[in-house]
Amino acid sequence: MTSASADSQRPAPVALVAFGGWGDAGDAASAVADHLLQTYPGEDLADLDEEDWFDYQTTRPLTALVDDEGAREVAWPAISIGLVHLPGVDVVTVTGPEPNLRWRTLTRTILQILQDAGVTRAVVLGSMLANTPHTRPFPVSGSPLSTEQARELGMEVSEYEGPTGITGVVTQALTEAGIDTTALWVAVPHYVSEPPQPKASLALARRVEALLDLRADWSSFVADTAAWENGVDELVRADEDIAQYVQMLESEKDATEEPEASGEAIAAEFERFLRRRDDKK
């Protein structure tokens, strides 16, 4: 397979970064990168699995059976960097669990690999729990992003300040190195946050296409989104309390375009809803 660096007809590769863990509610962000890795041809560029990056009591290795005789192997946590060949453009993917240690050193290592690959544009993905109803489009926010870009993409400009994860650290490092980088965050309904989250992943994927000028087959996300929505609808209909709560979120969402509430505000509002329900009994 010919790489972008050896094919003068192809543009410079772009990068897609998605770490699991703290900033990946419902695995919605990492699912986008994983989809490209599983759908299109490519090759491995690097596996950063050194003990320098992980606390194994926090991010534990996994053991699995490898044959019928009970033999096992241990898979150690790693940050994997791959090159995926999409029609018209190559994508350097950075995936894996959020590291526990030495973020600055790891970030420099990732940056060097992306620079060696010739990357000039990157998108860093994240997903967060929010008070968005599953029946409405999932909001996506971005940073750094101009007001005009946000309007064109149908997104919010992120004004978040507070604790960050490796996504924030990598975004800043890539930007400071001169790589055109945007961090995208999608809202995931906090009352149905288990993976998979195909609707959230599809919302991210559409923005990735626009920002990185690529086209990919997201049809599995489209089909899975319809099935996911139907399944959540059934669960909500089976619980009158949750159904009322979702109706309240729908009303609030339809009545305002304000940014999504913080996790603490979501919990407080849910507690107020439960108290109102108990008062009516």
Report the chain (281 residues): mean pLDDT per 10 consecutive residues.
Answer: 52 97 96 98 95 95 89 94 96 97 97 97 97 95 88 87 94 97 97 97 96 95 97 96 95 72 50 52 52
Instruction: Look up the pTM and report it.
Output: 0.85
The owner of tokens 């108290």 is 275
CA angle 262, 267, 273 (to 5 degrees): 125
Tokens in use for 7?
A: 């094919």
Q: What are the helix (H) ranges across 189-262?
A: 198-212, 219-237, 240-255
Query: Looking at the domain assignment, is residue 62 inside a domain?
Result: yes
Kindly report each contact of residues 225-228 with a partner whose C-beta sits within 8 Å and lies 24 or more positions away, as own/partner: 225/198, 225/199, 228/196, 228/197, 228/198, 228/199
Residues facing residue 140 across a β-bridge? 186
| 158 Cβ contact partners less than 8 Å away, ≥ 6 residues apart | 141, 142, 143, 145, 183, 185
The owner of tokens 């599953």 is 134
Cβ(140)–Cβ(156) below 8 Å = yes
Q: CA dist 108 to 2, 114, 178, 252, Å?
A: 27, 10, 14, 43
| 44 Cβ contact partners less than 8 Å away, ≥ 6 residues apart | 80, 81, 82, 83
Query: Looking at the domain assignment, is residue 273 inside a domain?
Result: yes
Query: Looking at the domain assignment, is residue 5 inside a domain?
Result: no
- By three-state DSSP, how is residue 109 classified? helix
pLDDT for position 260: 46
pLDDT for position 262: 45
Which amino acid, one-letter code, is at 230? Answer: N
Instruction: Give which of 182, 179, 186, 208 is closest to 89, Cα–Cα.
Output: 208
Query: Looking at the domain assignment, is residue 251 inside a domain?
Result: yes
Query: Looking at the domain assignment, is residue 138 inside a domain?
Result: yes
Total residues found in the chain within this entry: 281
Query: Looking at the domain assignment, is residue 173 inside a domain?
Result: yes
Containing structural domain, residue 115: 10-280
Query: Looking at the domain assignment, is residue 2 inside a domain?
Result: no
Query: What is the Cα–Cα distance from 4 to 84, expressed in whole angstroms?
Result: 10
User: What domain count does the chain have?
Assistant: 1
Query: Looking at the domain assignment, is residue 196 inside a domain?
Result: yes
Query: What is the Cα–Cα distance from 159 to 114, expressed in whole angstroms?
Result: 27
Q: Residue 51: give its domain's CATH number.
A: 3.40.50.10900
Sign of CA dihedral 96, 98, 100, 103: positive
pLDDT for position 68: 83
Count other Cβ atoms within 10 Å, centred on residue 232: 19
What is the C-alpha end-to-end distance of the chain, expressed in Å?
67
